Structure 1
Amino acid sequence: MAIIIWASVSSIDKRPDSGLSVNLERELAFALLGMFFAIAARMPILIVFLYMLAFTASLETLQEYVPGRHGRVEDFIVKSLGLAVGMTIGVMIKAWADRARGALP
């Protein structure tokens, strides 16, 4: 989460570049974040998703205050889709692990 915050609110010349498209980088980063939060969640997943959407919106808003950066609705949508995909995968992994744990004596 700290790396995403740093990459989102630092100046554009300090943003890491993986060579992938910027939207793919965003989606993958937020998918991983969503997956980890879904696996670790101890509250209803919808509440976690809403918190993560608020976090994402906050990052886009903060970018308005960083010279050379801008928060855009399109970026928010890409990141939110990444969160949704990652959280779905995380919920599936967590359900599989719970079932596997229940199958053991």
Structure 2
Amino acid sequence: MPELSTKLQTMLRVAAWLCLAAVAFATLSPLGIRPTTGLPPSIERFTAFALVGAMFAAAYPRYILFAAAIVLGAAALFEFLQVLAPSRHGRLFDAGVKFSGGTVGLIAGWLSVRWFARR
């Protein structure tokens, strides 16, 4: 697989982890301070994890299983941690939406890197 430049790879990795941190904040913060877009919550969840998945796949294209473990593991962990938060609730359906978004993002990000690296 063609390589991305080291500088671009580093920037993608920093962006991926910052994106995951932002999703963690939005997922685990009290409802009163949680940022919203006005879209239905399932669309927000799917889109957020699709973005995280794409970022991690682009940041770690040679380690796609690592990227998948981080993204899908975070989806499970965040949903579990919501069960412990007094103002939040974790649901299996929400976890499924996050897994779906993360998987779509991982595939799209990995394919994009392969396509752009060849150009």
Report the TM-score when normalising by structure 1: 0.88
Shift >3 Å, 4+ stretches: none
Aligned to 1:103: none
1:43 positional shift? 4.0
1:50 Cα deviation after fit: 2.3
Q: Separation in 1 of the partners of 2:107 and 2:72? A: 14
Choose 1 or 2 for highest CA Rg: 1
Give deviations 1:58-99, integer Å, cap 9, x for gaps. Answer: 111111121120111111100010011111110111011121
Unmatched 5+ residue regions in structure 2? Answer: 1-19
The structure 1 residue matched to 2:95, chosen from 76, 79, 82, is 76
CA-based RMSD of the aligned residues comes to 1.3
Of stretches 64-73 and 19-28 in structure 1, the one that deviates more from structure 2 is: 64-73
Unaligned ranges ≥5, structure 1: 101-105
Aligned pairs (5 A) from 1:40-55 = 40-41=59-60, 43-55=62-74
CA distance in 1, matches of 2:62, 2:116: 17
| Paired amino acid for 1:59 | F
1:14 matched to 2:33: yes
> Cα–Cα, structure 1 residues 76 and 46, in superposed 2: closer, same or farther, change >3 Å?
same
SS in 1 for 2:38: coil
Given the two structures, how large is their TM-score scaled by the length of structure 2?
A: 0.78
For 1:89, the equivalent position in structure 2 comes to: 108
Which segment drifts farther, 21-30 or 35-44? Answer: 35-44
Structural mapping, 1:60-71, within 5 Å:
60-71=79-90
Q: Report the equivalent of 2:14.
A: none
